[in-house]
């Protein structure tokens, strides 16, 4: 899917969640919202489910704690009408940095250089698509973003991508 093609847009709602998902939902609530067809439960130390259309969810004690979006196939995530997913990573990071400055928010960087705004519950990772580094947003409950352990390992299905796989 290119940036110009129609894709679903979800609004970021700090303290609540993103789009139709709310932090604290259980697995059956999430499946009811996203649809169970094509859902895959992943093994690992954390509850993780992968849904079609580029959405991965992570649970803390059975409650929704993180939503990770594919840069291209996931829904578009909007923050003040700015599209966070699938943009040039530097452009998206600059927007978040400027947004943080304008609203007097804290900016945190992870060990791989990703940008997090804990008060907004957003972590911006990068994803390599056809040789270009594009933005991949994660919406994360604030307690996880405040933790170096979680912040540096999200999404929890693996280590952050290497700088350039090519």
Backbone dihedral angles phi then psi of residue 136, each to the nearest 5 degrees: -130, 105
Vertex 133 angle, CA 39 and 118, to 5°: 70
* Three-class SS state of 96: helix
What are the tens digits of pLDDT across the range 86-135? 999 999 999 999 999 999 999 998 888 889 999 999 999 988 888 889 99
Contact 132, 88 (CB under 8 A): yes
Rg (alpha carbons) of the chain, rounded to whole number: 15
Cβ(122)–Cβ(92) below 8 Å: no
**Most confidently modeled range among 4-13, 41-50, 115-124:** 115-124
Quickly state the pLDDT bin for 1 (edges 50, 70, 90). very low
Adjacency order of strands within the sheet including 82-83: 21-22, 17-18, 9-13, 76-79, 82-83
- The secondary element (H helix, E strand) that includes residue 122 is strand 122-129
pLDDT, tens digit, 9 for 90 and up, residues 25-37: 999 999 999 987 8
The answer to whether 68 and 158 are in contact (CB under 8 A) is: no
């Amino acid at each position: 899917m290119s940036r110009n093609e129609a894709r679903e847009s979800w609004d970021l709602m700090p303290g609540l969640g993103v789009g139709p998902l709310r932090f604290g939902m259980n697995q059956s609530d999430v499946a009811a919202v996203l649809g169970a067809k094509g859902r895959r439960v992943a093994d690992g130390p954390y509850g993780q489910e992968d849904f079609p259309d580029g959405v991965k969810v992570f649970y803390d004690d059975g409650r929704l704690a993180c939503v990770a979006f594919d840069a291209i196939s996931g829904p578009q995530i909007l923050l003040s009408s700015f599209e966070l997913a699938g943009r040039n990573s530097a452009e998206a990071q600059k927007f978040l940095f400027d947004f943080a400055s304008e609203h007097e928010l804290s900016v945190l960087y992870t060990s791989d250089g990703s940008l997090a705004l804990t008060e907004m519950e957003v972590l911006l990772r990068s994803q390599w698509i056809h040789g270009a580094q594009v933005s991949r947003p994660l919406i994360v409950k604030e307690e996880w973003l405040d933790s170096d352990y979680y912040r540096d390992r999200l999404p929890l299905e693996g280590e952050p991508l290497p700088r350039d796989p090519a």
